[in-house]
Amino acid sequence: MTASLMIVMYHYVRPIAESRYPAIKGLEFEHFRGQLDFIAKHYRVVRADEVIAAMRGEAELPERAALLTFDDGYSDHYDHVFPELVARGMQGSFFPPACSVLDGRVLDVNKIHFVLASGVDPRQLVGEIFAVLDTHRTSHGLKRNAEYYRTYSSESRYDTPDVTFIKRILQKGLPQALRSELIDQLFRRYVTADERGFAESLYMNTRQLRELHAAGMCLGSHGDRHRWLNTLSPVEQRQEIERSLTFLQELGVPARDWVMCYPYGGYDDSLLEILRDKQCAMGLSVEVGLADLTRNDPLLLPRLDTNDVPFSAATGLDAFKWADTSLVAARHSLT
């Protein structure tokens, strides 16, 4: 049986060069179209329910199966991705955090992206963050700036140390209240004071999500507030999952055999237990690799980033590292 599955992860997909934020880290729309051409030529895009059936041994996936996943519920996905997928008869799986759709708030993760894309020098931002930490050190019992920098500057394969530090200290490194206050301050200073208007243009709304679902696209959970779920207590984790499931069920998603996509890839044992209890059938991590459906835990499937996959059908399969499905076995034999 074919057990190998290439799961591709996407975030922003837009005509970036001509947009208001040309520095945003995302996928240029023309590259997305080229990548779909590459995938259509060499792979068979499968549906999320086909993957679930295959993991249960109830069905087999075709050779070179691929699953396309879109995180964060951006309106990019409605405006640019959805029409391309429909035109090619491909299913995508979409993961909108509940609160970004329901509350008119911009998620902290996105505020940080747009602050970084605003043109401000990351060094300057690091200095501003240090200055805020200095004024709150005693009241919040904070560590020394250099210690935070050492801990958080090296956690990513995509960004420079300064940018990684800014993202991680603001995503999870500080006490929640201080983090939100600092992020809001930077967002207002460098991006906009109109958070609601920004949220409305950044995220899909419920009408658009219903339309995706009605057209056969898969909608899954990305939590409620896009938190690092492994930093929360089991009670908070359960709340995140329950709120997100209520939101999805209002959009017509069934209460069992649903798909989880961990914000930032963060999970732990207590979260997995909650997911099993809630009849989650598939979980997507940000571990990099091909999924092996006979070996992976169904709740911990690895993915490739879009940047790991060619942007043009002109690229041959022999030039694509992950076309070699033996990489699955090689990777696992190391562990």
Which CB atom, from 263 or from 266, has the smaller least distance to Zn ion? 263
- Residue whose tokens read 């090619």: 88
Min dist CB 247 to Zn ion, Å, is 15
Question: Tokens 């970036």 — which residue?
Answer: 16
Q: At its nearest, how many Å lie between Zn ion and the CB of residue 113? A: 11
Q: Which residue of this chain has its Cβ atom nearest to Zn ion in the complex?
A: 71
Where would I find the H helices in 77-121?
82-88, 98-102, 108-116
Pairing of strands 291-292, 27-28: unpaired
Cβ 170 to Zn ion shortest distance, Å: 15
* SS3 call for 209: helix
Nearer to Zn ion, 28 or 72 (CB): 72
CB closer to Zn ion, 91 vs 221: 221
The full length of the chain comes to: 335
Give the contacts of 309 (CB within 8 A, at least 6 positions apart).
Answer: 6, 8, 35, 38, 39, 320, 322
* Residue 44, phi then psi, degrees to nearest 5: -115, 115
Are the C-beta atoms of residues 21 and 117 closer than 8 Å to each other?
Answer: yes
Gap between the Cα atoms of 111 and 191, Å rounded: 8
Taking the complex as a whole, how short is the minimal distance between the CB of residue 194 and Zn ion, in angstroms? 23
Q: How far does Cα 63 stand from its chain's mean position?
A: 26
Q: First CA to last CA across the chain, in angstroms?
A: 23
Rounded Cα gap, residues 10 and 122, in angstroms = 24
Nearest to Zn ion of 4, 69 (CB atom):
69
Least distance between Zn ion and beta carbon 89 (Å)? 27
Q: Smallest distance, Å, CB 262 to Zn ion? A: 8
Closer to Zn ion by CB, 72 or 108: give it.
72
Report d(CA 96, CA 116) in Å as an integer. 22
Q: Which is nearer to Zn ion, 71 or 108 (CB)?
A: 71
Contact footprint for Zn ion (CB under 5 A):
71-72, 263
CB of 223 to Zn ion, least distance (A): 8
| 11 vs 33 by CB, closer to Zn ion | 11
